Chain A
Amino acid sequence: MMSITSAAAAAAAGSPVYTPLVSRGGRRSRCSVRAQASEQKSLEIMRKFSEQYARRSSTFFCSDKSVTAVVIKGLADHKDQLGAPLCPCRHYDDKAAEAAQGFWNCPCVPMRERKECHCMLFLTPDNDFAGEDQAISLEEIKEATSKY
């Protein structure tokens, strides 16, 4: 609503319509640069965690690496928003409460106890979808997640 009224006011005053747009664009890009930096950081943290945990639990990433990439991106997003890498493959009534409670924070309790990851991030070798990799690069994640 704001944008339309301000644009209409600018047009009525006879000033160039693009003036408010430019300033808003600048502010937005500065904010997004800062947000991107923190996003990048969580993405890198979650990528390293996934590699490390896969090696430690002797599990493997999915043979379709885009699944792995999307899940890591989801974990990073939750880490940014909620402060904890809540599992992105569940529906929660209250995400913040779940993150505080911790049962579904990655690695979740079923994963730690029984190596069950329904997100298909950590797959045991006998799983049909398991690949052979325990490593994923940041480029792979960025390429796979840019499609969505």
Chain B
Amino acid sequence: MSALAPLHLTDMASPALSPDDSSLSAAVSISPSDSENLSPDELELLSKLEEQNRLLEADSKSLRSVSGSCRTNVTSPGPPPLDQDSWELWGRIVTHWEEWTRRKEKLLKELIRKGIPHHFRAIVWQMLCNATDMPVKKQYADLLKMSSPCEKLIRRDIARTYPEHDFFRGQDSMGQEGLFNVMKAYSLIDREVGYCQGSAFIVGLLLMQMPEEEAFCVFVRLMQEYRLRELFKPSMAELGLCIYQLEYMLQDQLPELNLHFRSHCFHTSMYASSWFLTLFLTTFPLSIATRVFDIFIYEGLEVIFRVGMALLTVNQTELMQLDMEGMSQYFQKVIPHQFDSCPDKLILKAYQVKYNPKRMKRLEKEYAAIKSKEMEEQIEIKRLRTENRLLKQRIETLEKLQNDPRVTEELVSHLESELEQSRLREAETLGALKEIQEKVVELEKVSVQLAIQNDIS
């Protein structure tokens, strides 16, 4: 059993209520109500965990002075053999799932943060995202018989997803076939998203743990309920939001590093896009990425922000000394393997990061407002462009007229004859007017004479 973040059960009981959201910095304590729910075995387990945490924290403090990477005496790459205690404990958790999720949620959360034992991952992941009994599972076989417009695109990426992993090696490997099937099936039930690069790494991880149909169901759940669908939509708008939120955390918590990034035009999206799109599966070796994924499937995208900020915090000093290129190399080469031998430390660091859900929510609104304003401006720009284009066309037509000498002569002579005609018409009209005026005068005379005659008679 591996250790991880210090136990702060009071804080975790209601993260939303913690006053400053600096959540995990308080003392280790267990509230009486928590203890009541736990059996003696579990209490013993808790105290073991606490002891491990204490040691780990002490170790991590000594680590701080060393350059970020793990200088560790824990040398156990790969999953450690499962001891009897853990086996029994997780066995109990799985059999009494309802009870655990309802009454021992905090302890469960803590255990998950310490890593779900390999043998239990398939079932626990499915239960955690509530994918054990999905109607869509029955469709799966039929979906495989259909063809999808995304097939070609999916094919192109299959051999380029975990190519170094034995399970996916070779065109006829189980892994490649299953991956293609699940990606295709998903693209058929969600035409809007279809297939998006990045998602195959998530499905690939699922396939390493469980059969196709089940991986498919879990993936559907993750897409629907873990913001993943929004991340992978054609607009990828959610990615923009995640980057915006992470940038804010960076600015808030590591202002100097943020300034350094800015002065080197090192944009957040350059290093963090893949963190969100593949949940660190393309950053870390699988043994570590899977630990992050354990937490993700219980707690959601928050852990990605936490791990990301932890990486930035741990590496701040080194990054500050590098230029853009140096930093990008550092992100590509150094950071992925820093925690190879001590994944627990990464998780511990992640839970030392301040995370304020309310503020994140506010940032989301802010971002939506910025985006809708941008959209309006885009529409306005489009309108202006069209208008501009039409005006340009008119100018061109007029210029053509102006520059063509034949047209000009024709135009002038045309105008001249028109002028002549209208002058003639004017003369005619004037003549007619004169005649009419004369007639009016005559008639007036006649009418006066008539009036006089009337008076006389």
The answer to whether A and B assemble together is no
B residues near A (Cβ < 8 Å) are none
